Every structure is written in structure tokens, then in C-alpha cells.
Structure 1
């Protein structure tokens, strides 16, 4: 079980870093990005060896990545706010060139609290890298064929529900399956194993959509961002530079899923505010009702 949890935490970090890189491309790079890349390279070339403190080490790694992304977003908001205030002062005082230069200098420098955060996080990442290097051994198997025998029976039960071969299978063609448990117990691991099972596609002929909510939203729920991520996995082009209304994206998603079978996974639901989920559920079922009439 301990090896399963470590593999889950490793995959969780790798997925979150990949999605963060897509969400924050250069020049707005992730703070201390080079250190995260070094650790990712270490994780890709080494295999897990359960040892004392390894789980905490991987937990700290994911927390450090989340903190850096929040730091980047807060800094961008602060710079935008300072820029707008600077423009208002330029219009009022007629000192555009002088204040514009001063504003540019402020954007290129970190405050003392920001420097302290970067320094502290850098030391933490260096410590994590050393810890991982000491606790890893050359790989004997790849990431894809790692033995997940402890979760095998859970995966089989869920697969039966998805494929409609379970004794608990009900009527209708929409099902909701919840996987619950404490943090680190392997919920994402079980869902990923079902998601990647080739039988799901071959038997049910369905499309697959995987949404990592923790990587998409840092803080409050952003329903439009969730919809765009879903639409992107439906092979429908989403131009992030074009601003569209939330309802337009939702309508486009309904059309993309029209008459299709699909396996949709929401990973990382921790917020009790699920209004967005029930709204999405209502619209998708509404599309199916129109089709059946």
C-alpha cells in the first residue's frame, strides 16, 4: 500500500506540473521552474523505494508547486493593479513618461516578502531533491506497468459499473460514481487505472475526458475554465486569446458531446460548493433529452 501511495503522489506532481506549464507559458514562467524540472527529471529516471519520510517529501513537493503558482498569479494581479493605478496618475498629473519608467522598474523587482518566499522555497526544493536522490534506485519497471495489485478489486468493481456489467447497474445511460477517502489513499490512482483501461474504449466506444480541478483552479471555482478544459479534450479548438461568455462555452461543450458516450473524470473535488457540477449535469442531461424526443 505504501508503494501505491508514493506512486500516486509522484504521478500527481508530474500531472500538476505539466498542466501548470500549459497554463503559465513564458514569459510568465513558474517561479523556480528550473528546480521543478530537475526534480521531474529525477522522478522520470528513477524508481520509487519506500522509506521513512518519502511520503512527506512528495507531499511537500506538491505543496511547493501550488505555492509557487499562487505566488505567480498574485504577483501578476499586483502588477496589473499597479499599472492601472499608474495610468490614472499619469492622466491626472501629466507625468506619463517619468512615472511609466518608475512603474516598469517596480514590475521588474521583487519586494522583500517576495524575495523571502523565493529563497525559502528554493531551499526547500533543494532539500527535496537531495532526499529523493538518496531514496531512489534504478527503475525495474516503467511507470505504466507499475504493480497496482492492492487496488485491483476496486478497479474491477468500478469498471463493471462503467461498462454496465455490474449487478448494481441501473437503467439509463448516465451514471455517477464517487470515489471517496482521505488524502493520499489512492483515489486518483484507482480512477486513473479505470480511465486508462483499453476495454473502456473498445467495449463502450466512448470518449474520455480527465479534468484535474486542483491544477485548473487555484482558489475559487472557475466554471468557464473547467468548461474550456473539457472542450479542449473533445478535440474542439479553444482559442484562449478570444474572450467568450460562459454560456457560449457551455453550449459548445453540449454540441461536442452530442450523441456521444463519454467517460468524464473530475479529479480533486475538495470544495463543498458543487453548484457548477449540478449545472453541468443538468445541461448535459438536457442535451440527451432533446436527442431522445
Structure 2
């Protein structure tokens, strides 16, 4: 697949006047990829700093460190970036760096399979991993809630006042960006959590956590399955313009709450 956020055509947009990102056109895939990248970055950091070390004291795995470094590079980076001051003028593309990260992660897996690498699947490591992921999910959920909050209750005036967001329905042309970033993140975390279930299987059995993990996976899958044809940021009680951002955030909050439940059991 083409890595859209770095694609010159995506950044140039309409005849070089405005990129596609601020518009409602041709940007859903870019937002999805950015959301998925956020999840992969988070887990790769935990692999390099936590899970890929023996009791957090051994040296970091070189393949995991290389993958972490490659994934941190800006997602908009192309071969030549003359109009973006925060990017180097000439560089390797984001896509080539991310493909290198895939090779590094596969190399780590191959060495792990041959018992030549470390994966420390202890309960306290699962606790930290879930804590970091829950915080990540919570941050995006808050972004969605803020965007869809057209009005809020003001305690001082005892009345509803304009909120930080809006309820413009299909006329909120940036709502699809927020929605599909969350969609990409949930899609990635759904796969990551299925893999984590296998990696931490003994911990889940020992602490009787499989039923809660089931519910978490269900809620992640339900969030990842939301894919409206047109994203609407309407009122929650609207008949004609639904609030897709709230629908996404509800499933995300359920999954996050399950992560917190698992974390609390592990902390006993």
C-alpha cells in the first residue's frame, strides 16, 4: 500500500493551493495510517524499553532499538521536502524507514523463535504495557469527545454554553480526520492485543483474566469495525446527522475500561 501522508500528490492537493488533509476529500486513508502508526510506535517503544529486556536490566535489543528509531521519523517525510521547514530538505522517505522497521521486527521475531532474543512476559510488564496503551487510547478518546462537544453545561451560569467542538454534522469537514485516526489506532490495537494474548497467555490464565480480555477484544473489534460512508459530527440525539465521533469514543472507552480492570487485577 502507498504511504499516503508522505505522498506529494496528497500534500499538494488541489492544484497546489491546499493539501487534501484540511479538506473532506481523499484523506481518510492518510488519517487511518497515521492512527495505526501511533499504536505501532507505542508498542515498539515498550518492546525496546521493557519487553525486550530481561527484567529491564539487560541491554536493549539492537533490532528493537532500530525499529523504534525508524518508526519515530515523521510520517510526512518524502525524498525532497522544500516546503516543510520541520522536515529535512533531502531524506529517505517515511515509507522506506517504516519498511526497514518491519524487517527489524521480523528479525527480532526470528531470533526469538530461535531462543536467541528475550521477551519478558511477566505480569508486571503486562501491567505497564496496558497502562501505557490505556493512556494512549484515553488521549484519543478525549480528542474525539472535545471535537464533538458542541455545547457543555456551565455550572456557574447553570445553563448550556458553546463547547470546544461543534455539532455541524456532515459539514464538519475535519471530523473524518479525527474519526479515521481513531479507527486506524483501534484496528492496530485489536491485532496487537490478540498477539499480546498469546505472549502473556500464562499470566492471563494464572490471574483468571481471560473473560475480561475477551470483552476488551470485543470492544476493540467493535471500534475498528465502525466505518461510515460519510462521517457526521452531529448531536448525539440527532435523527438525521448522527454523532459518529461519540460512537467511536464509546467503544474506545469500553476497551480502555477493560484495560484498567486487567491492570487493577494484576496490581493486587
Same fold (TM over 0.5): no
Larger-gyration structure (1/2): 1
Taking structure 1 as the reference length, the TM-score comes to: 0.25
Taking structure 2 as the reference length, the TM-score comes to: 0.27
